[in-house]
Each structure stands twice: as structure tokens, then as C-alpha cells.
Structure 1
């Protein structure tokens, strides 16, 4: 392995970023390079090579690409890899989705160009690069080496190593080395020119409010866009304002589920069935509380638990006794049958509720044991209690607002 590649891989492994790789048609050597240098587990979360007549690619993208070797497919692959990286990592870890899709030399003569498309997605932006290779100028393995160097360069840029990335020699042919295409194809470029584009999204919360992304997560100084994580512990709320009871409840929930701090997150919905969408300014004010406190928060447009369960499958939602009572009221579903259907569907998605005790209107401390569940919901594991010994807090955001505690201006 070339020393320049070894040195760059070492630099990449020394950054905190973790990545998922999807490579198709070429670029697979980069996986060997990454795994050959000690420290690969600090960078590589997962790598897949989708082949098999297109079925594997369709599974990754959740659709059949119109063209496999093109910029659009490379970007879609990188975004899918990014979402998988979120699923495989803890809150607060910087993540990347990296992709490569190619049409390279094979065991038959290609009519079209030999080409490489690479993309890296970090949530806020997508970098894509492409190059058409001179046909007949290299063997298949050498073309794959060019593609692999392009992937490594894109990964390094995504890790913040821009100067080192630019210094990597991609092995492209310069104009003075070109004598035309070996097969006389007039469409072959006069030289191999790398073309790069960067596409950034707008204000993430505005994108969420306008429905272009499903979630915006703030954790560990990272902003994770449109990558809802499955199988976590979520504490939903309006957080107006955030208080110590919220923090203690999430900690107790994680202890009850025997999960690490990196598996739990607060969840704020900017949508309300009665009030509509929250303003951008108000959403920013509520988010600012968590950023300042260094606490993980995911913002969605999912006000109902049925919607949250579709977004965060196999997850546990932490609620209070009062919310549990409302959750099983048929009037909110248009009848008991609909209620049972909705809640059992949530369970089939692998979701459940962890319920903390709360004071009722008569100032009596009530727990899930005081809730009379309909018989079809009793034995499906939908509800679990947090013990009073582990958590009890009688403070509420409503009481704090009544005492004049309000959110600071952003």
C-alpha cells in the first residue's frame, strides 16, 4: 500500500468521525486500505458492496435507481449510508455516509464511458465528485485504484482533513499524457478531469418546518439531519422550559432499560394537533436550552405517538402517569377499536412506553399500577413502570411558567 495512503488513513482514524460505506461497481480497495491500518474500528461502522442484479441496491435505497452509475445515485447511496451510520452509532458521535458507484472495465467491451461517482454526506451538506476515465488506458484493478483514491479523498474531506485530502494523488492522467482514446471513441474526454460539487441544506429547523426533512438532532455539538435513530429511549415533551425533572427522568429511564447515556435523547415536536406548527423562532429558543446544557435533542414534526413510533421504530418512549391516562382514552382515536388498533400497531413496530409516577389533580402520587388497562393491552408489553425509588419529581413546566420561569431569548 502506498505510503501516502497509509498516512492519510492514519489521519482519518485519528478523527472522531464514524462512517458507513456503500460501494458498487468499483472503489472496493479503499475498504482494504482502511482496515489494514490499525484503528479501523474508530472509523468504519459498516461497509456494503451492493451487487446481485440490482436487488441489493434497491434494498439500500428503498427504490430502484434509474441509472446505477451517476451522481444522483451516488448521492442517494451516501444519504442512505448516513442514515445507517446514525442507527449504528450513539448520540453525539459525528457520522458520515460515503458512497461510490462506477462503470469500469469488465470482461466485455463497454460502449459507454468508464466513469466513477463518489459522494460523502454529513447531514448538512453533500460533496459529490465524478470523473470519466480514458478507456483502454488501465486494467480493471488500476481503474478501481483510482476510484478507491477518490473515495479516500472524499472521506478525508468529510473528516475535516481538507488539506491532506487535496494532497492525495488520485492517479488521473494529465493532458500531456493523453494520445486520444485507445478505441477511437470520440466521446472520451481529452484528459481525466475531476469535477466536484457541494450542495448544502438551508437552516435545518426551517427545512423541518417545511417538511423537507423528518428530524433534526442536536447532540455532542453535532447537527444530525433527517436520520431518525431506531431502538433508542426518547423522552418527548414541550420543554417550556426544560428543567431538572426532565433530566432526572431520562437518566432514570436509561437505568431502568439498562442502556448507556448515549442511547437516550429528548424529543420535541414542532407540530401540535390543536395549535399547528411552532414558529422557527420559538423552535430555536427551545433547542437552545439543550445545546447550552449539552443535552441530546431530536426535533420532529410528529406530535402523536403513533407518528413517533413510525419515525423511531423499536424505541421506548418515556412518559408520565398523566400522559398514560390520556393515551388510552378512546375519544382521542374516534373509539375504542381504533385505539386498540393504533396501540397494538405501535407494539408491532417494536415500540413501548416507560411510565413515571406523577401527582394527580388531588395531589396523590399515581403510577402505572393505578391505570386500568383494556384487556387487549395488558399482556403485550406496551407499558412498563419506573419505580418511585428510582425517580420522583413533582415539578412541572406549567408550574415553573406560573412562577415566572420562561425561556431566554435567543
Structure 2
């Protein structure tokens, strides 16, 4: 790749962490071999084994080489870049994370094995991914070069540097089907800032909390005009990942709204306790699954937060009732869920001080583990009132991936 393009990237106000697995790692050498690499590269990691990938992501991915895994890698890289760039010396710099996962030609590989490259980028208000399936017969070295070039182009585009024309190395046109497929999602500044506001406050033992409201009347709008949040007007909250929202979620929301006479506000925390934050492509997919119900009577709105724990949600939504399932209820009053850092009396005290109640729905094959001090905070909806058909978001995602 042209040296002048490398130096143009180094002159851009961009600081990045690269995470690469399966191929394309030579891009690291290209960025460093000519000098001035520290102007761009904060860190580079190559979690090549499955154990290394699991540790890097903090979880075992559904697939090691996929668009989704590339986005997870980019998000972890972005969070690492934020952590490395907090010093004043990086003021004014643009922070990004890039994740790349590849499945390239291997010795004695099975017949029909797909060769694919997925490169994702995570910035403060943008998630993007470029995917390429290689169908022509090439050497491993040739495929490695293509992977490195695709990673370079994703970085170059963000730095407003000319991309390298891939038409000389991939086969397109009549009878050829090698094509770079791209997806990008952008969010407003208040939503992007939710991923950055992770400073530990002196008053609390957890992150500074924030919230952004979704404007359901405008499909592309991620916050309402004026001051975001207004939690004092929200009385009924349904927290969840909604990946995607499905039949059981909606039945729970309808019944809760009828019982309490309040509209339901769905809450999604972009940050998680034990998983990478939600990227903006995944976020928009989840929002789409909720937006289709925007005109129904039970719908109050959608709130995005950086509050993964219910203790934190209680601070954002005081004087509210939370809609939860039996499995969440069991974790909620289990000290292990909080890593042993709090005890049950402290949890109960916090919820009582914030005037929080819980509307708990039975789930199939889930037994309640009820602490004797808990019932006064809860109303349990029996299976006689609510029919759980066993539908799960995980099963829906698996079916969609197999289509």
C-alpha cells in the first residue's frame, strides 16, 4: 500500500486500537514500519486462539468469523482506546476501534469451506462493517493481502484518506460475485456519549449515569428535543436487551399497562455488566423491533441508558415500577449478581428509598426464589394471567442466521 497514504493517516487526528484475528495482521506492520506509527496506533492485539478471543471479548461469540463478531471486536477495541486516551495529551484526537475477523485458505481444509473477511469500525457516533466473501482460488498469501487492504480501507475512509482500489485484487463483473458489502449506522451525540460516560463518581460506587430518549415520531431521530430523560414522568419501565423484541415482550407490556394504567417505556442499557456495549448497528435493529409498536396504546417510549444494573436504573427512574421476568427477579435479589459487592439489605434499602416496585411475570420452567423481605416490593403475575410460550430472542436470532 502506498507510503503516502500511510503518512496521510498518521497526520489525521485519529487514534485507534486494532484487534485482528484469522488474517490481515500484516496491516499492523504496514502502519508501523515507516515510522510515526504512534501518531495513529494506540494498541494492536491479535487474539488468534479461541481462548484468546473469548477472553478478549469477555464471552464466547456465537461464531468466531462473522459480521457480528467483527462488530464486537471493534467495540471492545473502542472501549480500550477510550481507556488509553483519557490523558490530556490526546485532547482533540478522534478515538476509534477496529475489529477484523477472517477465515482464509488453510492447509487440508474441508471442501466447501467459506473464505470470508469482516472488518468493523466503532467510533463515538458510528458503527460500520465491511464484509467480503472470497470465491476465487488464491494462495493464502494473496488472501492475507486482500484482508490487510480491506482493513486499511476501513481505517482510511474514517481518516478521510484515499482508499485503495480493490478491483485489481478481487474478482467482480459478469459471472463474478466477489463484492465488499458495507453497513453503517450513525447515532446522535447524546446516544454516542452514553458509551463514554463511564467515569466513576465520588458519590457512587458505579458509573455516572445518563439517558437519551428516542423520538418515535421521527425514525431517524435518537433523542427528543429539549432536555433528554425527564425520568420523573416515567412510571412504568420495561428494561431489556430486546434483541429482538418478540411476542412475549409485547404481551407483558400490554398486560402491565392495563394493570397499572400507565404507558410502558422500554429501556435498553448500551453498557453491560459482563459483555461489550451494544454497537449502533445492533442497536438500530433492536429499535426497529420496538418501533413497529409505536402507535399502540401501551407504548410510552424508548429510553437508552448506560445503567446495566437495577440499582442504577432505580436512580434514573425513581418512583417507577419495573417489568421483569422470573429469571431476572431471581438474579435481582441474589448478591452474587452484584459480584458480592453489595448485600441484600442494602439492595432492598436502595429500592425502597427510590420508591421502586417490580411487576414480575412467571416464565416457563423457572422457579421463584423469594427472599422474605422482597414481596412488599413486588406483584407477581401468574401463568393464569400471562401465557409464556417459551419464545426467546436467542432462538429468533439463531433462526434468522440460518435462513
Higher-Rg structure is 1
TM-score, normalising length: structure 2 = 0.49
